[in-house]
Structure 1
């Protein structure tokens, strides 16, 4: 696995674990705007 550099000033795609909604944001959204589920940064690999 390679390291992923994330620029905090650049927008990243965030995906909802529950419904799959994708949101582009510079900051990690707390909850999905559609269902309120947990969001993850798609640029950071899951382990």
Structure 2
């Protein structure tokens, strides 16, 4: 596995755990705009 260079100004895709909505944002969203569920950065692997 290789490390990913993180650029805080770069936009990242975020996915809702509940409804699957995907948005692209430069800052982590507090909650899903559609259902208010928790969001995750899709560039971060789930273990």
TM-score w.r.t. structure 2 length?
Answer: 0.90
Alignment size in residue pairs: 47
Q: Does 1:36 align with 2:18?
A: no
SS in 2 for 1:13: strand
Long gaps (5+) in structure 2: none
Provide TM-score, normalisation by structure 1: 0.90
Structure 1 residues without counterparts, runs of 5 or longer: none
RMSD (CA atoms): 0.9
